[in-house]
């Protein structure tokens, strides 16, 4: 398979990250902006008040909360029959 787009810019409309315009495996979908993002990109923009997308990152900060505490994840482990 010829897939040579690792360093290629992908617009968010085509499934790229809203912040860095790349596609990689670990992405979350943001329903506020209808776009895929990397949680790492959201976190970085959120931590830097001077980041050009800091305001947008604040709207997406709920994605980080889902990532950090996932109380439901224990349930599946106990239902393994
Ligand atoms: Zn990104």
Look up residue 81 and give its two tokens: 């029959």
Higher per-residue confidence, 23 vs 79 = 23
Task: Kindly report the average pLDDT of the chain as a whole number.
Answer: 83
Q: How far is CA 78 from the centre of its chain?
A: 28
In tens, the pLDDT along 66-77 reads: 665 555 555 555
| Strands, E assignment, 1-81 | 28-30, 35-37
- Cα 78 to averaged position of ligand 1 atoms, centre (Å): 34
- Cα 26 to averaged position of ligand 1 atoms, centre (Å): 9
Angle between helices 61-68 and 39-47 (to 10 degrees): 120
- Cα 35 to averaged position of ligand 1 atoms, centre (Å): 11
30 φ/ψ angles, rounded to the nearest 5 degrees: -100, 120
Higher per-residue confidence, 76 vs 20 = 20
In tens, the pLDDT along 40-63 reads: 999 999 999 999 999 999 999 999
Higher per-residue confidence, 15 vs 69 = 15
Number of C-beta neighbours around residue 64 at 10 A? 15
pTM of the complete model beyond 0.85 = no
Look up residue 27 and give its two tokens: 């992405």
């Amino acid at each position: 398979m010829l897939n040579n787009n690792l360093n290629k810019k992908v617009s968010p409309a085509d499934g790229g990250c809203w912040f860095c315009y790349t596609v990689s495996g670990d992405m979350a979908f943001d329903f506020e902006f209808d776009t895929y993002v990397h949680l790492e990109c959201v976190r970085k923009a959120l931590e830097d008040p001077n980041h050009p997308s800091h305001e947008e990152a604040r709207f997406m900060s709920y994605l980080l909360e889902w990532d950090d505490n996932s109380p439901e994840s224990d349930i599946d482990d106990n239902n393994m029959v």
